[in-house]
Chain A
Amino acid sequence: MPDTHFYRYDDYDRALVGERVAQFRDQVRRRLAGELTEEQFKPLRLTNGLYLQLHAYMLRIAIPYGTLSSRQLRQLAAIARKYDRGYGHFTTRQNLQLHWIRLEDAPDAIAMLAEVDMHSIQTSGNCVRNTTADHFAGAAIDEIEDPRVWCEIVRQWSTLHPEFSFLPRKFKIAITGSPNDRAAVRVHDIGLRLWKNACDEVGFEVIVGGGLGRTPMIGKTIREFLPKDELLAYLEATLRVYNRYGRRDNLFKARIKILVHEIGAERMREEVEAEYAAMRDSALKLSPETVEAIARQFAPPVLRPRRTRVPEVEAMKLENRAFALWLKSNVAPHRVPGHAIVTASLKPAGAPPGDASSAQMEGVADIADAWSHGEIRVSHEQNLVLPHVAIESLPEVYRALEKLGFAEANVGKITDIIACPGLDYCALANARSIPVAQRISNHFAELARQHDIGDLKIKISGCINACGHHHVGHIGILGVDKNGVELYQLSLGGDVDFGKTALGTILGPAVESDKVVEAVEAMVATYLGARRPGERFVDTYRRIGAQPFKERVYGNS
């Protein structure tokens, strides 16, 4: 039987998550009663996504492939209100982090998650983590196939997979179904890109060994075209090779990117292909029925083509400049005519990037119910997405988002900053991220100027772990600690657009915290002075190189 390892999402997962909640409740009780030491308890809480940070426990909740129903988002809001401080932080891994959870409440919070088919398992530890996807999946005009179907297949295969629960290090997979990669697949342990070959067949490009962190690497393609039904066998072969050869002696050298770097992409390909040859026709081969059954769960809402030019929208565009700008930056084309994809910016001027209060989450859930078929996405850029909005509803959606503070017309602009929690929350941090993001955001708050500057992605991490993806920011900012002083290392020219994935180059000596805004302003001024028509910040940088930016930031000395 080829598909015996497969199971119905509902029955199996509910039973599994239910069991885990009961187990964890008992473990927490024993820890609080002093029956378990911290040493014994720590791995158990981490398995359930519960970290201890600077001031409190943090619960990391997986949002599989970044897709949420309005019901799920409301439940997250309710959990944050009941067991946290009434807000949560959306991360670059399409997770939600609650930063103020009490240990004794954690099992109840996890039980509430289970009520809406969510969990926090595998958000920690050396296992396959939450598989991420393009946040426009199922709606994007350029999409070849919905990547979430494959994320779900990967999720079912990898959840508590006995062979891969103790990998040398954590393992992150991302999948895109569009040529315009919005899932940063080249900087993941495995990146998968669906594409159509000359025979009109859809398959995966398999990219291995990308990643950020201490040793950033761009992934290498080890298979140009993998037939879709062979995906799990190929992934299993890759993970086996990693499990066999990946280094376990040195934490900093344990990710698959180091293995690929050390043995080379060609040898990696040979190893994986050899392993794969032995198992390609195994039980892991996916039957069309299995794929079909999962694909049905992702059937898009039935959308009828509608008017694409709507007089009310055109009129409001003329009357309301902020709305006109919002249409440009926060609204993307949908594959069904007369519809659009709306990004709710979680980056209002001066706010901590990616944070949303319970009331705001409920507001977004209401908007999704009214105008986006009850669906919400979480983007790795720390925004929320309403994937199926009729163009004629855009004015109402805009006004509703405005009330929530989520209608800032800044998506892709200089204030749409990615920032990790940094030293304000994170036990691993060297420096703060959020206050730096806030200062930049306040400085560049004027929307007209942001739109004049154009697309410019600033990404900030509070330490070399790079949760804020600073290596791939057009401007990357990394917090470092020098003798107890926070300094910020600036880099330029990073990118994750497909085909152009690049790691930033360090500009020069790290600057003090109160000089960061000035430095960013100097880089922007350099760009504005040198840009040619149609050039984005990063294009100008590529053309003229780092030197002019350097001179402006540090002076000629």
Chain B
Amino acid sequence: MAKNLSGDMQVASANRLSDGAVVFLDDFGQWTRRLDRAALARDKRTAEILLARARAEAASVVDPFLVAVTESGDGVLEPLSLREKIRASGLTFAAIAAEAVRYA
């Protein structure tokens, strides 16, 4: 069950400068690939501080921004919007298996 559907809960995200990969800011001010390690702001005020921290740590990333998330009963975070869900968990279909087809 989602505890908070209002969209007040947010994490900071960006794309990594070196390869564009989606990253989230963790509690230690490091950028991580894992949404489950993201620092969570539970209200607007904390979210503003989180975004300011993300911007201060932006040397290795591109354009940090806030992503609205929900938290399930067992603490699993999930972005609210489909776009952010796809950013967090990747393509929603199997990309072609690059080497599966071999021309003999």
**B-binding residues in A (CB < 8 A):** 31-32, 34, 38, 52-57, 81, 85-87, 102-104, 351-352, 355-360, 362-363, 366, 400, 403-405, 423-425, 429, 431-432, 434-435, 438, 481, 484, 486
Chain B's closest residue to A351 (CB) is B96
State whether B20 touches A357 (Cβ < 8 A): no
Which of B24-32, B41-49, B70-78, B79-87 lines the interface with chain A? B79-87
Question: How would residues 76 to 104 of chain B score, 1 for a CB under 8 Å from any chain A CB and 0 otherwise?
Answer: 00001111001100111101111111111
B15 touches A52 (CB 8 A): yes
Query: How distant is B67 from chain A, measured CB to nearest CB, in Å?
Result: 12
In the complex, 22 of the A-B residue pairs with CB atoms within 8 angstroms, ordered by the A residue number, are: A32-B18, A34-B59, A38-B63, A54-B83, A57-B20, A85-B95, A87-B98, A102-B19, A352-B93, A355-B95, A357-B97, A359-B102, A362-B103, A363-B101, A400-B103, A404-B101, A404-B103, A405-B101, A423-B82, A429-B83, A435-B93, A438-B93
Contact A55 B90 (CB under 8 A): yes
Q: Which residues of B contact A104 (CB under 8 A)?
A: 18-19
Contact B21 A56 (CB under 8 A): yes
Contact B20 A55 (CB under 8 A): yes
Question: Looking across the interface, which residue of chain B has its beta carbon closest to that of A104?
Answer: B18
Are the C-beta atoms of A359 and B101 separated by less than 8 Å? yes
Measured CB to CB, the nearest residue on chain B to A80 is B98
Distance in angstroms from A493 CB to nearest chain B CB is 29
CB nearest to A346 among chain B residues:
B96
A403 contact set on B, CB distance < 8 A: 101, 103-104
Contact residue range for chain B? 20 to 34
The answer to the question of B17 belonging to the interface, with a C-beta cut-off of 8 Å to chain A, is: yes
| Contact present for A357 and B83 (CB under 8 Å) | no
Q: Identify B96's interface contact among A355, A363, A425, CB under 8 A.
A: A355
Q: Judge whether B96 and A423 touch: CB under 8 Å.
A: no
Residue in A closest to B81 when the chains form the complex, CB atoms: A484
Is residue B62 within 8 Å, beta carbon to beta carbon, of the partner chain?
Answer: yes
**B93 contacts A357, C-beta separation under 8 Å:** no
Given contacts A104-B18, A360-B101, A481-B82, 12 further A-B contacts (CB under 8 A): A52-B15, A54-B22, A55-B91, A57-B19, A57-B20, A355-B95, A359-B102, A400-B103, A405-B101, A423-B83, A423-B86, A424-B93
Q: In whole angstroms, how far apart are the Cα atoms of A118 and B96 in the complex?
A: 25
Which of chain A's residues has its CB closest to B19's CB? A102
Instruction: Kindly list chain B residues whose C-beta atoms are within 8 Å of the C-beta of A85.
Output: 95, 98
In the docked arrangement, what's the CA distance between A52 and B93, Å?
A: 20
- Docked complex Cα distance between A460 and B96 (Å): 19
In the complex, what distance in Å separates the CA atom of A438 from the CA atom of B92? 12
A-chain residues with CB within 8 Å of residue B15 when the two chains form the complex: 52, 55-56
The secondary structure that dominates the B interface is loop
Cβ B82 vs Cβ A103 within 8 A: no
**B98 lies within 8 A of A56 (CB):** no
Closest to A437 in B: B93
Q: Which of chain B's residues have a CB closer than 8 A to the CB of A32?
A: 17-18
B101-A102 in contact (CB<8A): no
Knowing A85-B95, A423-B82, A434-B93, the reply to whether A366 touches B103 (Cβ < 8 A) is yes
Closest to B62 in A: A38
B86 to chain A, nearest CB (A): 6
Q: Are A103 and B19 in contact (CB under 8 A)?
A: yes
Residues of A contacting B104 in the complex (Cβ-Cβ under 8 angstroms) = 403
Residues in chain B near residue A404, CB distance under 8 A: 101, 103
Instruction: Determine how close the nearest CB of chain A comes to the CB of B22; give it in whole angstroms.
Output: 6
- Nearest residue (CB) in B for A54 is B87
A260 to chain B, nearest CB (A): 34
Q: Give complex CA distance A439, B67 in Å.
A: 30
Within the complex, the shortest CB–CB distance from B33 to chain A, in Å, comes to 11
A104 to B20, CA, bound (A): 11
Partner pick for A358 among B63, B90, B91, B98, CB 8 A cutoff? B98
A403 to B101, CA, bound (A): 8
Determine the distance from Cα of A141 to Cα of B15 in the docked complex, in whole angstroms: 49
Asked if A359 meets B99 with Cβ closer than 8 Å, knowing A56-B19, A102-B18, A435-B93, the reply is yes
Q: A55, A356, A400, A481 — which one has the most chain B CB atoms within 10 A of its CB?
A: A55
Interface centre among B22, B90, B91, B104 (most CB of A within 10 A): B91
Give chain A nearest CB distance to B73 CB in angstroms. 22
Q: Please tell me if the beta carbons of B21 and A55 are within 8 angstroms of each other in the complex.
A: yes
Q: How far is B85's CA from A292's CA once the two chains are assembled, in angstroms? A: 55
Distance in angstroms from A54 CB to nearest chain B CB is: 5
How many Å lie between the Cα of A404 and that of B104 in the bound state? Answer: 9
Taking the nearest CB of chain A, how far is it from the CB of B17, in angstroms?
A: 7
Q: How far is the CB of A381 from chain B (nearest CB, A)?
A: 18
In angstroms, Cα B59 to Cα A431, docked, is: 31
CB distance from A499 to the nearest CB of B (A): 37
Given contacts A54-B87, A57-B20, A87-B98, contact A360 B93 (CB under 8 A): no
Q: Is the CB of A486 within 8 A of B82?
A: yes
- Chain A positions within 8 Å of B98 at CB level: 81, 85-87, 357-359
Q: Which of B22, B81, B95, B99 contacts A352 (CB 8 A)?
A: B95
A357-B96, A423-B86, A484-B82 known; A52 and B101 CB under 8 Å?
no
Of B20, B59, B83, which contacts A52 at CB under 8 A? B20
A435-B92 in contact (CB<8A): yes
Residue of B90, B92, B95 with most partner-chain A CB within 10 A: B95
**Chain B nearest CB: distance from A50 CB in Å?**
10
Partner of A53, one of B20, B81, B95, B103: B20
Q: What chain B residues lie within 8 Å of A359 (beta carbons)?
A: 98-103
Q: A87-B96, A352-B93, A424-B92 are in contact. Are A56 and B101 (CB under 8 A)?
A: no
Candidates A54, A355, A366; contact of B86 at CB < 8 Å: A54
Closest to A401 in B: B103
